[in-house]
Amino acid sequence: MRIYYLILFAFSFQVVISQNAQNQIETLDSVVVNAQRIELPFSKNSRSIFIITNEQINKEAATSVAQLLQNVAGIDVRQRGVDGMQADLYIRGGSFDQTLLLIDGMAVADSQTGHHLLNSLPALENIERIEIIKGPAARIFGQNAFTGAINIITKLASENSLKIDATTGSYNHTSVGAQVNSITNNYAQVLQYKRNTSAGYRFNTDFKNDNAFYKSNFNIRKLPIQLLANYGSRKFGANGFYANPNYKDQYEETQTSLVGLSSQFRNKNYTLKSTVFWKRNQDMYLFLRENPTFFRNFHITNNVGATFNSTIKSQAGITGLGVAVSKNYIVSNNLGAHNRFIANVFIEHRFSFDDDKVDITPGVALNYFSDFNFHAFPGIDLGYALSPKMRLYGNLGYTYRIPTYTDLFYSDPATKGNENLKPESAFAQELGLKFNNDSFKVELALFNRNSHNLIDYVKYLPADKWQANNLFRVNSYGLELNSQINFRLFNYNQNLQLGYNYLKDNIKQ
């Protein structure tokens, strides 16, 4: 048995001049969380959900989503380079392949590898809020939400405006951008382009990052429609990014596109949301930047999908129903040409008792994979309002992750995939307490996760390659604390946030 410890401590002190702290708390309580099947205000949720509001985004000194998420207890962002050029996202000790990222509810997972999760994200100024679900979320979103899910909600245009900005800094760093917000009758749109470049702070760490973002909302016969398009191109020297840190001549280029069209129908007791989307990712890697023929990987993935979610209110409670289908394709000089079809059906129902003081939400996800057959993942959420300001909650459920194409088929002189891998699975439990008033907010959570068939790379003899295998049974448990204090000092509103995370893994082969 091997034991690992991970302790994360996040502390931030912020001064706010224009934002009233009391209004911020009240707004957060009433926010309807999108990162779930059943629409509920933040204050009535019986899960560990952390929201980064637009006001908090504006106050942070972060320049990228990766930097912003680093300040959240329970989240580990491991960056390579600067400006979030390449980063991996971990929740509660899981891997970058075990975290699901969504943009406006559209999953941006890549079937090649989770390394591409943060490749192309909207600029911070175009993000309304970020919703973070910690703990297993397969019952809500399906596979890849093994340890949690993060949903980035982008802004709508609210006024006519034009913004042009340019900055410069050390190591020939430059940033230029332009954004247009336009509102005409019932048609609103946002268009932005940004470019960041740098010569690099050491040998072979130069980069060029281009990002284009477009979002519009309009009505067709009183039916609201939203169109989102996001494109990112990154070219960067990858000195020591992968493999051995002594390999200083690596280089990588990625291109990521996301296009989605969504609509919703809503009345007093019924809501239907539908989305169709297409995501494309292109990845080119060179082991020797100046000698492309020595070792070169080139991959193109496409993911086409559709989701349909409905919420039905009745005297028996609130029912959430969802269907998600997608087709994944990959063409690669290393991994080969493959495709898989994924279908998910979700259902859950929220029962409430004693004037909504007690809530019970059982649910199940039924999933089909063309290369891994059927799986079912049940779970349940429980909540009890101790007072209007304090809530006790608990949940338990099953979660899973199917292997990426890198896990299955990758090959290089030192590493080998495994076509016989099984999906990872886990049974997780959580117990938490939330307290929230105008000046003080705190959440304490205890969690436990029993994982099976975790995938890792091992070799049994010195001459062997590192090969992917289902090796481990891991019991992960820990404690998580998030708190916020709002007060006034020197006639200014102050905001003090404190986060703490303790995690322990017991690993058995």
Q: What is the CA radius of gyration of the chain?
A: 23
Strands 317-332, 173-184: pairing is unpaired
CATH code of 2-508, in short, is 2.40.170.20
What is the per-residue pLDDT for 18? Answer: 33
What is the per-residue pLDDT for 91? Answer: 92
How many Cα atoms sit within 13 Å of 44 on the Cβ side? 20
Among 439, 68, 80, 417, smallest CA distance to 236 is for: 80
> Could you write out the three-class secondary structure of 401-446?
ECCCHHHHHCECCCEECCCCCCCEEEEEEEEEEEEECCCEEEEEEE
- What are the average pLDDT values for consecutive 10-residue runs of the chain, which has 509 residues? 39 35 43 65 81 87 88 89 85 91 91 90 92 84 85 92 94 95 91 95 94 94 93 94 86 96 92 96 96 96 95 93 95 97 94 93 92 88 93 93 95 93 94 90 95 92 93 91 89 86 87
How far apart, in whole angstroms, are the C-alpha atoms of residue 487 and residue 11? 16
Going by the DSSP 8-state scheme, the letter that residue 210 receives in this structure is E
The reported pTM is: 0.89
- In DSSP terms, 426 is beta-bridged to 399, 451
Phi then psi for 384, rounded to 5 degrees?
A: -140, 120
Length of the chain: 509
